[in-house]
Structure 1
Amino acid sequence: MVAFVKWYVSSLNASYSSRVPKGEWEKKPYNPVLGEQYFMKWGQVDDCGETNVVCEQVSHHPPITGFCIKNEKAGLTLNGHTGQKTRFSTTSLICDQVGQSIVELASEESYLLTSPSLTVNGIWYAAPYVELTGNSYIQATTGLYATFEFSSKGWISGERNHFKCYIRKNGGNSKEYLYKIEGQWSYKSTITPYGSKKSEPFLDVTQLTPAPMEVKPLDQQGEMESRKIWQHVSEAIQAGDTTKAGVEKSKIENQKRAELAEREENKTTWEPIYFKWQDPEPKVQSLQRMLSSAVKNKYDPVTSGNWVFHPSQ
């Protein structure tokens, strides 16, 4: 569980911090279209084998993405989905991430993990940046669970991107813990065993080197892959031609509206290619029950289902 928490913290940095170069602000992302796909892989690192990634936009209203990350040599599979519910609060945009993921290991251990909420600040000053807020959870079949509390500023330092994590045993005293992990998910964190006053270094994400990411050349990609769909919009943005970017974006949106109208006229239902909805999903349901019994009313999942990857299709 300690190793899993370390990976989870590093993934937060990779997802919400390291992708924005220093001195730059968040950019408005493309709004994925229904059925949009993304494929990539991380090459071999330290003889761990290749890690393949498949993503598909399985719903447009509400927006939901299904994803699967798999490394056969390492015996690891991550399968999950994420959806977004957005709302405004004073000068910020809050994005609640709905969904969960299941990580399965060759050792037959499984881990359920959820995602924190995102707060986009600085919108009115044209200098937006993301902070994590609220809580997230990890529940393992081994009988251990972890709770995360995210804060926009540290309890003492006033720095951004702080978190506290407690690892506990299911069925144990909720006031006792095995480890407390705290710090900045975008910088350094420490770990402290229960009953100890001495903390030790846990993770410094600035010292990590991302694995090389591999994506097929554009001319080898399918028509529903992200870079292919948004090719002309991206080219216009990079050329500084906002008018053309708007025109190309409208072409995509109008095409998708026409496709929707055709489905409604023919009374047909669109189905994802790589994922199928399963509710309840047995592993999700089982781990949710374990977690709910430990944290009580603090954890209230929207669903016990998951968009399950079907590679044979």
Structure 2
Amino acid sequence: MVTEEHNATRAVLTAPLTLDGDSDVNYGAPNLLQRVLSVLKSVRPGSDLTHFQLPPTFNLPKSQLQCFGESVFCFGKDYLSKCASAESPLDRLTSVVAWSISTAARPMVFGVAPYNPILGETHHVSRGNLNVLLEQVSHHPPVSALHATDDQKQLEMIWCQHPVPKFFGTSVETEVQGKRQLKLLKYGETYVMNSPKLLIRFLPVPGVDWVGHVQITCKETGLEAELSYKYSIFGGRNHRLIKGKIIDSSSSKTIYDIEGHWDRTVTIKDVSSGKLRLIYDAKEAISGLSTPYVEDPKGISERESAVVWGEVSRGILGKEWEKAREAKRSVEQRQRELQKERDSRGEKWAPKHFTVTHSKEDGWDCSPIESQVHPAPIAVPL
């Protein structure tokens, strides 16, 4: 039996991605683009890449579950707290817009990707009073659930994420399906939003960007925001552009126009007065990010992301690629064995922390079983 202390020593936690997509490992290898295209050469355009397996040489030393969580608990300027402290409904929605932008402001490193989480994998982290719990609630298709609570600021987040990557010859576009909710409990307001799409370009200029439309609604106040993420392969004024507006849904009246760049700054303009105001600065939001650490060794679960992939990450960080490949094969083989055991007993796996439903009309929905997330064994320095 694996003890909690042993789990803690096996855990590998790495620094969060920065605004420029930097990581713990230098992936500036020669002919990276050719290596990526060689791996994808057998994939037909339009194919769903959900089940596509990358060798460790193309992996970041962390799970997608960890990357998902970092968008919530790793930040410089605390845009999340502003959502709960703003006095008027309009200011709160404006703050939610800025915070929403901050959660998508860390692109992946071109040519590499995090591990695909295994079924039942969890990631449990605290930052101050913000406690965050993630669980991989489905493996085929991959679906991740997130629940976060902050009793002091009276915040709650419930997210469901189902990435669907498709290959289009010169690019991969990932539609991130699933509903995201931010609840401001003090005001009885729930903000519902979606995620932009992640675009990975191979040609003519390699790069990673966010594209597509995001809508943020609050039925309690009748206010909503519409955002459009755009890019230009040649950079310039239109590179990583955000445009949008905040409207009163009851009258369809535009209150603010939104414009800027998600990797730089975003401003709003009051349409009645013409007054401009800065609401988001990427350098402030994605700077000074701290690496999570194990605070309570006895609380670490064997299903924790940093434990599940610990040996693989050690191999990648040490550039011991055969060790990383063997460790990754071991993780994947163990999952296949567990699935066979469940099938032989006629058992259906069920998530530990979420109730999950799925329909063609509404997609995936993940509801937390407990009302609050408890303090985690892994912490982020304040």
Q: TM-score, normalised by structure 2?
A: 0.66
In 1, are the aligned partners of 2:216 and 2:224 still within 8 Å (CA)? yes
Q: Secondary structure at the match of 1:150?
A: strand
**Structure possessing the higher relative contact order (Cα contacts under 8 Å, 6 or more residues apart):** 2
Secondary structure of the residue aligned to 2:112 is coil
The gaps in structure 2 that reach 5 residues or longer are: 1-92, 374-382
**Alignment-derived partner of residue 265 in structure 2:** 188
RMSD of aligned Cα (Å)? 2.7
Check conservation: 2:137, 2:356, Cα contact below 8 A: no
List per-residue Cα deviations over 1:157-188 (Å, max 9, x = no partner): 44421111211111323xx4110111101111
1:264 aligns with 2:343: yes
Q: Contact (CA 8 Å) 1:42, 1:212: kept in 2 or not? A: no
Distance in 1, matches of 2:144 and 2:222, equals 29
CA distance in 2, matches of 1:102, 1:79: 5
Tell me which residue corresponds to 2:55. none
Query: Of the candidates 113, 116, 119, which is equivalent to residue 34 of structure 1?
Result: 119
Give, as a single letter, the amino acid of the residue that structure 2 aligns with 1:216.
V
Q: Call closer, same or farther: CA 1:154–1:112 in 2, change over 3 Å.
A: farther
Q: How many residue pairs get matched? A: 276
1-side partners of 2:116 and 2:155: how far apart?
Answer: 30
The 3 A distance-change label for structure 1 pair 166 and 154 is farther
Instruction: Say whether the 8 Å CA contact 1:40–1:216 is kept in structure 2.
Output: no
Give 1:286's aligned residue.
Answer: none
The residue correspondences of 1:262-301 to structure 2 (distance < 5 A) are 262-278=341-357
- Give the stretch that moved more between structures: 132-141 or 209-218: 209-218
SS at 1:244's partner residue?
helix
Specify the alignment match of 1:147 in structure 2. Answer: 226
Instruction: Give the corresponding residue for 2:26.
Output: none
Q: How does 1:5-44 map to 2 (within 5 A)?
A: 5-13=97-105, 16-17=106-107, 25=110, 27-43=112-128
**So what's the TM-score if we normalise by structure 1?**
0.80
Residue type at the aligned position of 2:104: L
Three-state SS of the structure 2 residue aligned to 1:256 is helix
Q: Deviations over 1:171-211 (max 9, x none)?
A: 323xx411011110111112111245453333222123567
User: How far apart, CA to CA, are the structure 2 residues paired with 1:36 and 1:101?
Assistant: 20
Distance 1:206 1:31, change over 3 A: same
Task: Give the secondary-structure state (helix, strand or coil) at the position aligned to 1:243.
Answer: helix
Contact 1:279 1:304 in 2 (8 A): yes
Alpha-carbon distance, 1:155 to partner: 12
Shift of 1:215: 3.9
| Residue aligning to 1:311 | 370
SS of 1:29 mapped into structure 2: strand
Of all paired residues, the percent bearing the same amino acid is: 25
